[in-house]
A and B are shown apart, each in its own frame.
Chain A
Amino acid sequence: MKTLIIPLIVLLGAAAPHEKGTLKLASKSFRAGDSLAITGAKFSKKDELTLALVGVSGRIALGDVPTDTAGAFRSVLLVPASVAAGQYRLAAEAIDGDEVATLDVVVLAASTMPGMPDMPGMQHSAGHAGTDAEPTGAPLVLARQRNVVVTTTTIAVIIACALGGGLLLRRPRINSMEDVS
């Protein structure tokens, strides 16, 4: 086992020359031309990072930020007004081009999220990943909508499956020599 684990641990060390960090934004959707307040943590200490938006239209550099002695930074960068609306990744790159953090973001063209029509029951709560929200694994208390027809039909299907299954399992009784031709 040691012969397996030791090279793997060496490989793990070699594969991570930079500290992987995290990026946070006030909101993961913003408009072209906006000033973007970005904070980062857990990066290599006293390092220089390049922040860029990466999307289908290419890579748009937002600027360079230095990390402090704790490997953190806080910066406000301008999103160029020429950036097209759409899905991007906000990427933090180390000086050798190694990507050390990434965050999915949306650049908005209008006042609403593109391709996301308002639907009843939708709160537009998404986008907390990478924001300042408190993490929790506790289940959300949601007003689960039940429909009488759906519930009644489901109960009927359950009963039918249980009875049908029971009948098929009961008849015919299979024993070791049954059906021998």
Chain B
Amino acid sequence: MNRDGIVTRARSVLADRLALQSLEYQTPARANRWDFMLGALTLAALVVLAATGIVLTQYYNPSPLGAHDSVRYIITSAPLASLLRDVHVWAASAALLLVFSHLAAVFWRRGFRAPREGLWWSGVVLLALLFGLAFTGTVLRADQEAVEALAHNNAGAKVAGPLGVVMRPEFTPSVPQTTRLYAMHVSALPLALIALLALHLWLVRHLGVSAPGEGRSKFSSHLRLISGAALVLVAIIASAALAWPATLSAPGVDGFEVTKPMWPFLWIYAAENLFGMGGMLVAPAVLFGFLALVPVADRRDGRAASLTRAVGVVLFALMIAAIVYAALAPGQSHLGMDMGGGS
């Protein structure tokens, strides 16, 4: 048997044993475009996050007084863990950037219309979970930004009343709050994410993507393309991690606000700059409220559909503008905290 024969035979054996023929179903050829791969690329970033996060759990100490030291230890004394932490931080940014791009693309092509409302809503909850993971991840560093994030968490949890009880420091005396947020970061939130991802992918498989056009393509071809794109994404994330390692500031000091949050939270920071604590709560409520209403408001072409699209575009533009404004504007303190530097 020649070399080609051996390869063909091996592929056939593998395909039979792993039921790879089931990947030969047809999908719209249009789905092979980049704007249809953003969801899969988000998933690839999440896989990187999970893999690097699992390793980091072996180095990170979630006790309030040990947390900062353990991150410092990772950076200064554990080269592999340090690199994986850098990759973890960059993959988090990539996942959030990709999921926003995915959301914008699906919104623009109206991929939320019947029968895909569940697909949209599960995506919206996945977005909220990603925000939760980014937030809890920030707190784990126990540096100044973490302490400020925790102060905002506690203020928000208090306003939320019974709904915020679990997030409050006095929820239980047996486990410190940082440790509880760590547990959420590595268990409850990822489990919820996996469950919703499973639902999301199930719906994609059975409802199909919203991609008009006559052309058809095998899913195995699509899979090859998204695998290639995912590998390129991994290369980009790892290059960024090598070139611009993640930083750590000094251990946080309570009662001061001298930093700005991670970029995906800057639009909330901007709302807080303008409207105080109310802005911090209302801005996400407006965004997620609008996203939840989209499939209800835009069911078929007409005035309501045009209005929904216009509102979505305005909100998206406002969000980008708020992020740019917050990134460029001077730092501001909230919740009665001091700005430091003698102020």
Residues of A with Cβ closer than 8 Å to B?
1, 4-5, 8-9, 11-12, 15-16, 19-20, 22-24, 28-29, 41-42, 54-56, 58-59, 87-89, 91, 99, 102-104, 106, 113, 115-116, 119-131, 133-140, 142-147, 150-151, 154-155, 157-159, 161-162, 164-170, 172, 174-181
Contacts and interface: CB of A to CB of B under 8 A. Distances in A.
Nearest to B87: A154
A119 B77 contact: yes
Contact of B242 (A88, A122, A140, A154): A154
Contacts, number: 248
Q: Which of A88, A99, A128, A134 has its CB near the most chain B CB atoms (within 10 A)?
A: A128
In the complex, the 6 A-B pairs of residues with the closest C-beta atoms, listed nearest first: A168-B228, A165-B231, A176-B215, A121-B77, A137-B259, A22-B255
B235 interface: yes
Nearest to B331: A137
Contact of A176 (B29, B82, B83, B248): B29
Nearest to B146: A129
A178 B242 contact: no
B252 interface: yes
Main secondary structure of the interface of B (DSSP, over half): helix
Contact of A137 (B216, B242, B258): B258
Question: Which has the most chain B C-beta neighbours within 10 Å: A129, A147, A179?
Answer: A129
Contact of B245 (A22, A91, A144, A159): A144
Given A24-B254, A42-B255, A133-B250, A87 B76 contact: no
Nearest to A57: B173
Given A8-B282, A142-B248, A136 B228 contact: no
A140 B228 contact: no
Given A121-B77, A129-B64, A165-B228, 5 more contacts: A19-B336, A58-B173, A99-B169, A142-B72, A170-B228
Nearest to A144: B75
B20 to A, nearest CB: 15
Contacts of A167: 228
Interface stretch (B115-123, B188-196, B219-227, B312-320): B219-227
